[in-house]
Amino acid sequence: MPKVITLDAAPDLRQIYVAAALKRRRPGETLPDVRVARAGVSVDVAGLAAYARVCRLPLRAALPPTYPHLLAFPLQMVVMAGDGFPLSLLGAVHVENRIEATRAVAVDEVLDIDVWAQDLRPHRRGTLVDLVSEVSTRGELVWRGVSTYLARGAEHPEAPRSETPSTAPLDTVTGGPQWRLPDDTGRVYAGVSGDWNPIHLHALTARPLGFPTAIAHGMYTYARSLGSLGPRLPAGGLTSRVWFRKPVPLPSTVRLRTAFSSGASLSVLEAVSGDAEHAVVDNTWTP
């Protein structure tokens, strides 16, 4: 049976990051059998509005598909900062994310959240781990997310890769919305998400962790990508997956190119110069 840590409120992630910076991590090859849970979570409408404004998301009666991740993310950090977790929290990079929104989740629904880690595995540049988040209401599972993080370390060139879908449908798509992301983008998003990871805040805090400049949060660019697709995406019955290919340095100007088909969309977020592919987003739903 897993150990269950029940939280009454979301933890302050700034304190978790500071503690992680001071803590000596003992490497290991197994994950602790721990679940972190919060019950009876109500959406802070003002916080939701601020998040929607920063990520250019429409405000509707249903939550944006990325918003439950925002509620679950502090619980993920509790798991990753806990005793026995074998990877360093600081410098961990979000490389993939999968969302399954079973149905639309109303803003006024009361939610129960459970988070755990699974599938520790080698990567060609270090080690991967999945943080699984499930959101339920009155016993009904309404949203599930799998966030994959990379901790850089010993390289494993032979490790299998997670292949992105073919971007051939985008060959004839030449235009798309462009965004200018200023150098304070990471700090602005941290203010609404609570994710104060130093790699996103300033070049001075990113460089000791291996990045020449601050990089945009993956979940920020993901949310903006879904927001750009607007009403063409359903609020429920959506499966969405993103592969973060190359970090978005700050400042940057990026472009989103998208191809639609029946019950599906495929997008590429790239540097406006075309010399860097930052993310591939694949969405499917029942038409």
DSSP 38-51: EEEEPP-HHHHHHH
- Scanning the chain, the segments in alpha helix (DSSP H) are 13-22, 45-55, 67-81, 185-193, 203-206, 218-229
Measured distance CA(36)–CA(25) in Å, rounded: 20
User: What parts of the chain have a pLDDT lower than 70?
Assistant: 25-28
Instruction: Give residue 257's pLDDT.
Output: 96
- pLDDT of 207 reads 93
- Which residue in 167, 172, 175, 177 sits closest to 265, CA to CA? 167
Give the pair of three-digit tokens for residue 80: 């990753």
d(CA 125, CA 249): 20
- 105-158 pLDDT tens trace: 999 999 999 999 999 998 888 899 999 999 999 999 999 999 999 987 777 777
Class of domain 3-155+166-285: alpha beta
Supply the mean pLDDT for the chain: 92
State the pLDDT at residue 163: 79
Beta carbons within 10 angstroms of residue 157's beta carbon: 7
On the 0-12 / 13-18 / 19+ scale of CB atoms within 10 A, 202 is middle
Cα(275)–Cα(286) distance, rounded to whole angstroms? 34
Domain extents in the chain = 3-155+166-285
Residue 54's SS3 state is helix
**Do 94 and 131 form a contact (C-beta atoms < 8 A)?**
no
What pLDDT score does 25 carry? Answer: 67
Q: Residue 187 is encoded by which pair of tokens?
A: 């700090």
Q: 151: which strand partners?
A: 127
pTM attached to this predicted model:
0.93
What does each C-alpha distance from 61 to 43, 277, 281 come to in angstroms? 12, 33, 24
Residue 39 CA to residue 71 CA, distance in Å, equals 11
Residue type, 8: D
Per-residue pLDDT of 136-150, as tens digits, reads 999 999 999 999 999
- In three-state secondary structure terms, 143 is strand
Helix (H) / strand (E) element for 275: namely none
